[in-house]
Amino acid sequence: MLATAISANRLSSIGTYNLFSYLNPLNPFVEHVRGLCVLLGAIRYQCSVPSVTQIADGARTNHHEFSRWHNGGGTFHKSACVDPTAIIEIGSIVHSEAVLDANVHVGSGTVIGPAVTVGQSTKIGYNVSLSNCTIGDSCLIHNGVCIGQDGFGFSVDEQGSMMKKPQLLNAKIGNHVEIGANTCIDRGSWRDTVIGDHSKIDNLVQIGHNVVIGKSCLLCGQVGIAGSVTIGDYVTLGGRVAVRDHASITSKVRLAANSCVTKDITEPGDYGGFPAVPIHQWRRQVANLYSHLSKKSIS
């Protein structure tokens, strides 16, 4: 019996595969089983590794048209126009008709959707999703950013059911723009969503569909901009500022943290509060509130 011929300790040290050679290396049956073990191991490995077919999406995509990029090991579609100097890191994918200009760097896990254009010297971090958009030159897109997905637009039908509004336009990012981690910028529905040149956006910012932001704007963390907002040039939004839909903010406006814009701002200057008012007016409101609370606590 096998159990009497070989001890349990010896079995564990030999292993399943080498056991056949240990018993009788010249037996044809043993050789056949050995080959079967090798084949099963190869199948298990192949099933555990994502193939190009698994990572490429789209019902109209021919998955055999994807290849490995020579500079970084990522995957690209044969119809994509990729400059030879571009780096596509392993685990990232560039879909059909996308354009990557010179010295673009695409981090692992990033998806560049069909017909997306990325300008020269732009750096894209890990796990970024780009679709229905164009990215300008010398931009910096940090990890987890999503650009070009559908905006949040619905209507209510006669039965009270929510009906999705078409979101068919694009998002356009200018030159020298920096976008912080996990920020989301939606595509347009009735006009393109636009981020102007040299604007800087912090982490965790939400920019809704049809928003137009001018050049050299600064958006701090957790800012939320509802759909169809228009913002001029040189505007600064402090942390957690909220802007209601269809509002307009003129150029050279600064908003204090936690402010909420509920109507158009037509004059340059500093604003704060909920609703946002000129900064000196907001400070008077805060001072009066503290004075009232102090008198109340004393009495």
Based on the residue annotation, tell me whether 209 is a catalytic residue of this protein: yes
Geometric angle at alpha carbon 220, from 217 and 222, rounded to 5°: 130
Query: CB–CB of 98/80 below 8 Å?
Result: yes
- DSSP output for 162-221: EEEPP----EEE-TT-EE-TT-EEEPPSSS-EEE-TT-EE-TT-EE-TT-EE-TT-EE-T
Query: CB–CB of 209/194 below 8 Å?
Result: no
Catalytic residue among 63, 209, 246, 292: 209
User: What's the distance, CA 226 to chain centroid?
Assistant: 19
Q: How far apart are the first and last CA of the chain?
A: 97
Query: CB–CB of 30/16 below 8 Å?
Result: no
Is the alpha carbon torsion for 242, 247, 249, 253 positive or negative?
negative
The contacts of residue 4 (CB under 8 Å, 6+ apart) are none
Q: Which residues pair with 161 in a beta bridge?
A: none
- DSSP output for 231-265: E-SS-EE-TT-EE-TT-EE-SSEEE-TT-EE-S-B
- Helices 28-48/16-23 angle, 10° precision: 170
**Tokens, residue 23:** 């018993």
Looking at the annotation, which residues are catalytic? 209
